[in-house]
Amino acid sequence: MKKVLPVLVLAAIGILLILTVAEMPAFGDSNAPAHRGVMEKYLRDSAIDTGAINTIAAIILDYRAYDTLGEATVLFVAVLAVTATLYGGEHHA
């Protein structure tokens, strides 16, 4: 039982995912739904809007700078967590 269950779960997930992959928009298709949304403005206006010609930098540090603040916070939390658990526990008190 302990051996069979993971295999069954994995098989179910695998089959579902493969069927999903078959249904997805074709890889590299320039008109796929993913490229019909927000992308166009970023590529067209980012240099004028933000002054950066690297569109990715413009997105992460200007259009979506709030996300990157969160990202910096995650790093901060990680360091705090590591410090507090490694040096703050009762195990060497």
Partner 1 sequence: MELLERLYTNIYYLVAVVLFVIGFHTMLTHKNLLKKLMALNIMDTAIFLFFVAIGYRSGGQAPILLPGVEKFVNPVPSALILTGIVISVSFTAFALALVVLLYKHYGTLDSDEIIAIRGKKHV
Partner 2 sequence: MGVSIMHDLILEIVNRLLLPFIQLFGMYILIHGHLSPGGGFSGGAVIGASLILYSLTFRFAKVKHRMDHDTSVFFEAAGALIYVAVGFVGLLFGFNFLTNRGVFPLGVPGQLWSGGMILVITLALGAKVSGTILSLFQELLEGGSDEHGTP
Partner 3 sequence: MFSVNHAPVLIVVMLLTAGFIVPLLGKKMALGRILFLSVGLVVVVLSLLTTFAVLESGTIVYAVGGWPAPHGIELVVDAFAAYSSLVISVISLIIYWFVVFAPREVKHEAGYYALILLLSAAMHGIVMTGDIFNLFVFVEISSLAAVAIIAVKGTKESIEASFRYLMLSALGSGGMLFGIALLFMITGQLSMEYMRVALSTTAGQYPLNLLTALGFMVIGFGIKSALFPLHIWLPDAHANAPTGSSALLSGLVVKVYIIAFMRIAYMTLGMDLFYILPLRQILLVLASLSILAGSVFAIVQDNIKRLLAFSTVAQVGYIFLGFSLLTERAVEGAIWHILIHAIMKTLLFLAVGVVIHQSGYKKISQIHGLARRMPFTFACITLGALSMVGIPGTAGFISKLYLALGALDAGQAIFAVLILASSLLSAIYYFPLIITAYFGHDALPNIKEPSLAVRLPLAVLSLAILFYGLMPSMLLPLVRQTALLITR
Single-letter amino acid, residue 91? H
Q: How far apart are CA 46 and CA 53, in angstroms?
A: 7
Contact between 50 and 44 under an 8 Å Cβ cutoff? The reply is no
Burial 77-88 (b: 16+ CB within 10 A, else e): eeeeeeeeeeee
What, of partner 3, partner 2, partner 1, none, does residue 36 touch, CB below 5 to 8 Å by kind? partner 3
Min dist. Cβ of residue 90 to partner 2 (A): 12
Size of the site for partner 1 (CB under 8 A): 48
Q: Please report, as ranges, the residues that interact with partner 1 according to CB under 8 A.
A: 6, 9-10, 13-14, 17-18, 20-24, 26-30, 32, 34-35, 38-39, 42-43, 46-47, 53-56, 59-60, 64, 67-68, 70-71, 74-75, 77-79, 81-82, 85-86, 89, 91
